[in-house]
């Protein structure tokens, strides 16, 4: 998860338009952006598996049972036959166009599907959000209400002044 957050931050902090779309988007849009980054930057570039039976139709010759295989997640995730045109472009709408969800191999597949994939995506969403907003703290001269609103990511009315403090103040 740590490496994924670093890669996601790198892409989002480098690309202003993508970062703004991430900040303005709903949870589904944020997740689509993160999944697309993960498709291009898988944390495990290679996985190793052993065949349990003879495999045919993948290579010109059958692959015998009990053969150890090296599978390139990176190559599979940019295979134009599976992900469409411009496979190296970061396109958050790609999964919607192909009506796929988690079909890329970054989180594994089948019995090897990562059980923590949703936790990793949620942690990354929160981390990137907090990297992309101004800190609202009492130490920065803001009210305690503003600091609470920021941490809760919601609007909290200030009972002293009867005006709501906005939780999210993006970096300009």
Phi, psi of 30 (to 5 degrees): -60, -45
Q: How does pLDDT run along the chain (172 residues), one tens digit per residue?
A: 778 888 888 898 888 899 889 888 888 888 889 989 988 888 888 888 899 999 999 889 999 999 999 988 888 888 888 888 899 999 988 877 776 655 566 776 666 677 778 888 888 888 877 776 655 555 556 566 666 665 566 666 666 655 544 444 433 3
CA-wise closest residue to 170 among 135, 146, 142: 135
Other beta carbons within 10 Å of 41 = 19
CB 21 within 8 A of CB 29: yes
CB 34 within 8 A of CB 21: no
């Amino acid at each position: 998860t740590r490496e994924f957050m670093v890669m996601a931050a790198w892409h989002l902090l480098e690309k202003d338009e993508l970062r703004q779309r991430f900040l303005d988007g709903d949870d589904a849009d944020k997740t689509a952006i993160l999944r697309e980054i993960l498709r291009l930057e898988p944390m495990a570039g290679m996985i190793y598996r052993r065949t349990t039976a003879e495999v045919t139709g993948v290579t010109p010759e059958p692959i015998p049972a009990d053969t150890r295989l090296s599978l390139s997640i990176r190559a599979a995730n940019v295979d134009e036959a599976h992900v469409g045109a411009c496979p190296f472009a970061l396109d958050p709408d790609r999964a919607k166009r192909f009506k796929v969800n988690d079909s890329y191999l970054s989180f594994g597949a089948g019995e090897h599907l990562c059980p923590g994939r949703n936790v990793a995506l949620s942690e990354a969403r929160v981390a990137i959000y907090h990297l992309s907003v101004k800190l609202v703290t009492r130490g920065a001269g803001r009210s305690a209400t503003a600091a609470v609103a920021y941490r809760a990511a919601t609007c909290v009315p200030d009972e002293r002044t009867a005006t709501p403090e906005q939780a999210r103040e993006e970096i300009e």
